[in-house]
Amino acid sequence: MTNNIYGYIRVSTKEQNEDRQRIALANFPVPKDNIFMDKLSGKDFNRPQYRKLIRKLRPGDSMVIKSSGESLPRISMRILWCLICLYWILGTPAKI
């Protein structure tokens, strides 16, 4: 078991600032070198850094995702996103 802690950040556009998410992950604490970020739309899972992170996960590892306090429609999208994340992670050696 490796027991590494990884973090994932996604913002929709290159103009959006990811600082709040970086600060939250640093406070968790997620090592800076273990934070993966995509600046892409949330419309699908064609996210290179997310896929790279999923491939790195090993038994005992943790993945931290910062959720921002947003409106109900956005929260429901986050729940759906989390369920999809679980589906992907279950296909790796990592444990939930």
| Catalytic-residue membership of 41 | no
Please confirm whether the linkage preceding 31 is cis (ω < 30° from 0). no
The residue annotated as part of the active site, out of 12, 41, 68, 76, is 12
Q: Are strands 5-11 and 62-65 parallel, antiparallel or unpaired?
A: parallel
CA-based torsion, 96, 30, 85, 76: positive or negative: positive
Secondary element (H or E) of residue 55 = helix 48-56
Catalytic center residues: 12
